[in-house]
Amino acid sequence: MTTTQLRSRPSTSPAPGGTTPAAARRKRPGRLREQLSGWGMIAPAAVLLLAFVFLPAILGFGLAFTNARLISPRPVEFVGMDNFARLFTDPTFWRALLNVSYFAVVVVPVQSGLALAMALLINKKFRGVNFFRTVYFLPVVTSMVVVSLLWLFMYRKDGLINELLSTFSFGLIQGADWLNDPATAMPAIIALSIWQAAGFHMIIWLAGLQSISGELYEAAQLDGASRWHQFRYVTWPGLKHTRSLVLVTITIQALGLFDQVSVMTQGGPLDSTTTIIYEAVRSGFKQQETSYASAISLVFFVLVLLISAVQRYLTREKD
């Protein structure tokens, strides 16, 4: 009885209690036990998420309008928009926003493109496919902090990158002092970020590729479609959902740029690599201004939300 009611409920109604009180009274005792054990199983994860995701999110929202400090003898006071007024007049914040946009504008298309190319290369079974899948994924299992440290060494003026550049160009290219020059510091961080994370999005693309039915390719081949046409008319439309997932995850990851900057440049030279999160951590942690950092975090969150909403709108189903 209850079962059919629950199943027949239209999927759009998220009402928590779809059953009427009358129906609830008619419930068999086994159902009540199922409710109780069900909630008992959901509770641990739900309580933890409530305590460590929902609550801090709401708390952060509130703290942004106060003068809270991490350790302070004074009581917390409501200060209205003060933190935001200060934030929006801070040139470093605008510089951080610009840097992060620059980073995202390059990383999002290049990294998703390379990741798709890698996924296409290892999509079909061939001898050694597992070897390539593993190697392509290796940078992802290497911590971003280790990667940053390693590339910090390779980017030195007398480092490996410059040696490789000069070897492969037969001495024509004299490398830059990558991380100490405001013009090259951000491109250098972009390169290593793509190197580290492309493998992860390769896996997501691969999941999408594997879900496309092989029959579609056979039909296309029978019609004499070239490889490009197969990609254009079978693969690309088949990746519609994967595309928006990749786009959103890469964008959020790009906007949250922090580890690389913290290890390699500390925002320098001349603020050319500072980011929103780096500024938030710097003010919240080093200067202990929890409220100001919360304001930065809130702005960041709204930004992420806006951009994902715009992306969802642009990649929506058009029918």
Partner 1 sequence: MKNVLRLNSIGAMAVRILFAAVAAFPIVFMLVSSLKPDQQIFGDMSSVAAFLPVGNISLDNYTAVFDRVPAARFLINSVGISAVTVVLGIFINSLCAFALSRMQVRGKRVVFTAILATLIVPFQTLALPLVWWVNQLPYFELNGFSLEISKGWLDTYQVQIIPFIANAFSIYLYHQYFESIPKELDEAARIDGAGWFKIYRQVVMPLAGPATATVAILTFLPAWNSYLWPLMVVQSEELRPVMIGIQYFFQLNVSWGEVMAYASLITVPVVVLFIAFQRSFINSIASSGVKG
Cβ atoms of 253 and 78 within 8 Å: the answer is: no
Q: Of 1, 81, 98, 153, which one interacts with partner 1 (CB under 8 A)?
A: 153
- Three-state DSSP at 66 gives strand
Site string for partner 1, 247-286 (x = CB under 8 A): -----x--xx-xx--xx-------------x--xx--xx-
CA 97, distance to chain mean position in Å, is 17
Cβ atoms of 200 and 241 within 8 Å: the answer is: no
> Rule CB under 8 A: is residue 138 a binding residue for partner 1?
yes
Q: Of 100, 151, 176, 234, which one interacts with partner 1 (CB under 8 A)?
A: 151
Cβ atoms of 208 and 242 within 8 Å: the answer is: yes
Site string for partner 1, 230-249 (x = CB under 8 A): ----------xxxxxx----
Which positions ≥6 away from 165 have C-beta within 8 Å? 173, 175
- Three-state DSSP at 312 gives helix
Q: Of 107, 118, 179, 261, which one interacts with partner 1 (CB under 8 A)?
A: 118
* Phi/psi of residue 66, nearest 5 degrees: -120, -175
Q: Which of residues 179-198 bind partner 1 (CB under 8 A)?
A: 195
| Shortest CB 53 distance to partner 1, Å | 5
**DSSP count for the chain of H helices, then E strands:** 17, 0
Nearer to partner 1, 185 or 295 (CB): 295
Q: Which of residues 71-100 bind partner 1 (CB under 8 A)?
A: none
Q: Which of residues 28-67 bind partner 1 (CB under 8 A)?
A: 31, 34-35, 37-39, 41-42, 44-46, 48-49, 51-57, 59-60, 63
Cβ atoms of 180 and 162 within 8 Å: the answer is: no
| Shortest CB 292 distance to partner 1, Å | 10
Structure tokens at 110: 């290049």
Cβ atoms of 284 and 70 within 8 Å: the answer is: yes
- Three-state DSSP at 298 gives helix
> Rule CB under 8 A: is residue 314 a binding residue for partner 1?
no
Nearer to partner 1, 14 or 29 (CB): 14
Q: Of 77, 81, 88, 132, which one interacts with partner 1 (CB under 8 A)?
A: 132
Nearer to partner 1, 80 or 286 (CB): 286
